[in-house]
Amino acid sequence: MHKVIPIIASVGFMLTLSARAQNDIEAELKASSDEHMREELGVNPVTSPSIATLLNDLEAFRPAPLKLLDATSRETSFNNRLQTALHFGSLVADGFILTIAERPKDVQDVGKELIRQARALGIGERLTKRSKSLLDLSDKGDWIGMRQELVRTQEDVENTMMELRDEEMAHMVSLGGWLRGFQVGTTSTAEKYTPAKADILAKADVIDYFIDRLETLNPELKQTEMVTALVEGIKKIRLVLIETQGVTPTEAQVAKLKKLADEAHAIATARVDEEGRFTKSPNP
């Protein structure tokens, strides 16, 4: 009997190890599969800019140009998923900027609107906890926590869309966040120019990534008037950024970048019909 107990215990221990090993293997296979899928869809650490990195760059643009944010309607609704995705990313960037400015009520409003926009994208259920967490952190005045939660919110949306193999819209969420952040950065730098802020703007590799994503959109979507204008607008930004490679952008170049960023953001948020045609001029 005394010999049986150690044997049983040993078998149980081996089974536990086996179960753990199996779980580890399954987790590793899933991670490998997810990574393969992301690579297949054009999302990897080399080509895809990290949303955390893009948003953290906004820390440098103080004071935040709050008039720009206040002049933009957060509760805008669109009749297509592409603009809804762009707007979602823009809202995440706005929320991040508002935490820098320490405006909790506005952050709460952004959190509520993110849920509404996520529902419009068909993925609202997964973000309910994120929204509640954002509201709780806002009540506590935990600015760092709120920024981290906003990053996780964007990542959740991207991951969910990747699972649904809706990679085009995942890229548009990231593009919306980058474009809004770039608009804020150019506005802040134009209002109070410093070489340090100007240097942060000069990242052509990031814009190359987003141009590539726009170029690989579904042909029918890519050929719409709105997308064609957006691609053209972002390429104009790229031309100026190429001029600044290796040197600090001048005040005149920053002013030009701000104008182009305003124009691109206006195109991204313009009213269009079901065929993607502008219902009125998108010029800001």
User: Among 17-21, 23-27, 237-241, which range has the highest average pLDDT?
Assistant: 237-241
Say if residues 233 and 259 touch (Cβ distance below 8 Å).
no
Please check whether residue 278 lies inside any domain of the structure.
Answer: no
Same domain? For 220 and 124 the reply is yes
Same domain? For 174 and 201 the reply is yes
pLDDT at site 32 = 42
Same domain? For 54 and 168 the reply is yes
Same domain? For 7 and 148 the reply is no
Please check whether residue 276 lies inside any domain of the structure.
Answer: no
Say if residues 226 and 276 touch (Cβ distance below 8 Å).
yes
Please check whether residue 181 lies inside any domain of the structure.
Answer: yes
Please check whether residue 280 lies inside any domain of the structure.
Answer: no
pLDDT at site 49 = 63
What would the pLDDT profile of 21-56 be if each residue is shown by its tens digit?
444 444 444 444 444 434 443 444 333 466 777 777
Same domain? For 11 and 71 the reply is no
Please check whether residue 242 lies inside any domain of the structure.
Answer: yes
Mean pLDDT across 7-29? 42
Residue with the bigger pLDDT between 267 and 11: it is 267
Q: Is the pLDDT of residue 10 over 50?
A: no
Same domain? For 28 and 65 the reply is no
Say if residues 73 and 235 touch (Cβ distance below 8 Å).
no
Please check whether residue 277 lies inside any domain of the structure.
Answer: no
pLDDT at site 50 = 67
Please check whether residue 282 lies inside any domain of the structure.
Answer: no
Same domain? For 64 and 144 the reply is yes
What would the pLDDT profile of 113-159 be if each residue is shown by its tens digit?
988 888 888 877 667 777 778 888 888 889 888 888 888 888 887 78
Per-chain mean pLDDT for the chain: 81
Binned at pLDDT 50, 70 and 90, residue 284 comes out as: low
Q: What span, in angstroms and rounded, lies between the C-alpha atoms of 96 and 90?
A: 10
**Structure tokens of 67?**
């008039």
In angstroms, what is the C-alpha Rg of the chain?
A: 22
Same domain? For 31 and 74 the reply is no
Same domain? For 100 and 202 the reply is yes
pLDDT at site 220 = 92
Cα–chain center distance at 105: 22
Domain boundaries, position 208: 48-268
Q: Is the pLDDT of residue 18 over 80?
A: no
Same domain? For 57 and 190 the reply is yes
What value, to the nearest 5°, has the Cα angle with vertex 139 and ends 135 and 143? Answer: 85
Same domain? For 73 and 150 the reply is yes
Q: What is the number of structural domains in the chain?
A: 2
Alpha helices in the chain (DSSP H): 4-40, 51-56, 66-70, 81-100, 104-120, 128-140, 143-163, 167-191, 195-201, 204-215, 219-222, 225-243, 251-268
Pick the closest to residue 173 from 238, 236, 81, 106 (CA basis).
81
The β-bridge partners of 278 are: 272
What would the pLDDT profile of 154-208 be if each residue is shown by its tens digit?
888 778 877 767 788 888 988 999 999 999 999 999 999 999 999 999 887 889 9
Please check whether residue 142 lies inside any domain of the structure.
Answer: yes
- Long-range contact pairs involving 118-123 (C-beta distance under 8 Å, separation at least 24): 118/88, 118/157, 120/77, 120/78, 120/81, 120/84, 121/81, 121/84, 121/85, 121/88, 121/157, 121/161, 121/169, 123/157, 123/160, 123/161, 123/164
Say if residues 159 and 30 touch (Cβ distance below 8 Å).
no
Same domain? For 107 and 209 the reply is yes
pLDDT at site 138 = 83
Q: What are phi and psi of 62, to 5 degrees?
A: -110, 145
**Structure tokens of 45?**
């650490």
* Cα separations in angstroms, 221 against 43, 122, 261: 20, 19, 22
Q: Is the pLDDT of residue 3 over 60?
A: no
